[in-house]
């Protein structure tokens, strides 16, 4: 027998499958916020690449760059060699295979984009992508994130990351003064949240599913969402107000966090206190080239511009016909000025007959051309 949760998950899978057959991105982002997210890794493998619009034609470039040297190659090898223990217990063969794949993925990205600087924790994000999808897809996903969502972490210094962390306490002050005062009294600094923000919490759970569930959401929304999620993890007031206790809580998050509930709270907080308002209130302005100030990214508006093309073509069509009508009216006025006699009206009739056929022939041709363009872009 299926449980109520099983039935709900099955319904969610049907919803996601239906959306994937349409123009899906906005609807998929809504699914990321609601219960169960994208439910399972089969669905995630289909949805995640669509959410961040990755190019499916990059396999040759991947193979060309995965063995190239780069400045961080030794550190990558050391970190990857320590990775994936939590998610591959008792599966040493799988672990070794995934480590080899992860090494190739990270090396290919860093060799392709020398402006990106490796940071410890980067491999954690790559691990989650790889365990959920496959090697080629993970390369494309991690590359997109590296150049966009987490690019602040991949600069020569963590200066911009420090500014992001310093937004946390002002956010708490705007959201919940009691939690803010509790943290101030415990002498904990915003630095406690650094691993949460730079690894998207991938270092904080012992099982893959809760981390993947968070990735459902983080891939679907503003790149500051991990900071906002940090602010809604609010069981703090149940703890003694002491540095050691609070710091230990942040280092070892409870495994059974109510993620669906916290994600909904995070999304509501993003709407209530948008990142621009937060920066203004905190008097901390992130860099102009930061992904935090450039969201939504340019590639995210591509679909919307394509949907607007039919409107553009319709406007062009009416502009052309409007021009023809104005020209015809001007001819009429000129003839009327010459004479009010029946001869003038006869001249007008003969003139309109002479231009009628070519004008409408041209208009029909123009209309057919516009309709062809519309059909080419939107399929009908």
- Read off the pLDDT band of 272 (50, 70, 90): very high
Distance CA 82, CA 344 (A): 94
Residue 207, SS3? coil
Distance CA 215, CA 43 (A): 13
Distance CA 340, CA 347 (A): 11
Is the C-alpha dihedral spanning 261, 174, 300, 130 positive or negative?
negative
Distance CA 275, CA 226 (A): 12
pLDDT surpassing 60 at residue 342: no
- Read off the pLDDT band of 373 (50, 70, 90): very low
Which DSSP string corresponds to 203-254? TS-SSHHHHHHHHHHHTTS-TTHHHHHHHH--GGGGS-S-HHHHHHHHHS--
CATH topology of domain 40-147: Helicase, Ruva Protein; domain 3 (1.10.8)
> So what's the pLDDT on residue 333?
54
> So what's the pLDDT on residue 378?
36
Chain segment 101-124, per-residue pLDDT in tens? 999 999 999 999 999 999 999 999
Please state which architecture CATH assigns to domain 154-304. Answer: Orthogonal Bundle (1.10)
> pTM, whole model, 2 decimals?
0.76
Centroid of chain to Cα 68: 29
């Amino acid at each position: 027998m299926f449980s109520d949760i099983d039935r709900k998950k099955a319904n969610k899978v049907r919803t996601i499958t239906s959306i994937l057959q349409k123009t899906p991105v906005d609807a998929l982002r809504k699914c990321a916020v609601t219960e169960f997210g994208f439910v399972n890794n089969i669905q995630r493998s289909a949805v995640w690449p669509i959410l961040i619009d990755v190019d499916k034609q990059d396999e040759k470039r991947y193979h060309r760059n995965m063995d190239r040297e780069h400045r961080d190659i030794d550190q990558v090898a050391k970190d990857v060699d320590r990775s994936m223990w939590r998610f591959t217990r008792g599966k040493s063969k799988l672990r070794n295979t995934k480590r080899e794949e992860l090494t190739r993925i990270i090396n290919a990205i860093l060799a392709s984009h020398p402006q990106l600087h490796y940071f410890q924790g980067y491999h954690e994000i790559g691990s989650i992508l790889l365990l959920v999808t496959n090697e080629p897809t993970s390369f494309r996903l991690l590359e997109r994130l590296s150049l966009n969502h987490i690019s602040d972490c991949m600069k020569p210094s963590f200066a911009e990351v420090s500014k992001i962390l310093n937004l946390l306490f002002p956010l708490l002050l705007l959201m919940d003064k009691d939690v803010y005062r509790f943290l101030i009294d415990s002498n904990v600094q915003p630095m406690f949240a650094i691993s949460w923000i730079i690894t998207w919490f991938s270092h904080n759970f012992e099982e893959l599913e809760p981390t993947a569930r968070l990735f459902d959401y983080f891939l679907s929304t503003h790149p500051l969402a991990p900071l906002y999620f940090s602010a809604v993890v609010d069981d703090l007031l149940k703890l003694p107000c002491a540095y050691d206790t609070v710091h230990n809580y942040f280092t070892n998050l409870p495994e059974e966090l109510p993620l669906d509930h916290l994600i909904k709270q995070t999304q509501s907080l993003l709407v209530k206190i948008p990142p621009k308002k937060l920066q203004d209130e905190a008097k901390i302005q992130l860099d102009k080239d930061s992904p935090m100030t450039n969201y939504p990214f340019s590639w995210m508006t591509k679909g919307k511009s394509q949907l607007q093309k039919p409107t553009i073509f319709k406007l062009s069509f009416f502009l052309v016909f409007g021009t023809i009508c104005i020209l015809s009216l001007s001819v009429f006025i000129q003839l009327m000025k010459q004479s009010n006699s029946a001869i003038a009206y006869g001249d007008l009739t003969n003139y309109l007959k002479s231009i009628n056929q070519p004008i409408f022939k041209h208009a029909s041709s123009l209309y057919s051309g516009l309709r062809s363009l519309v059909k080419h872009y939107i399929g009908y």
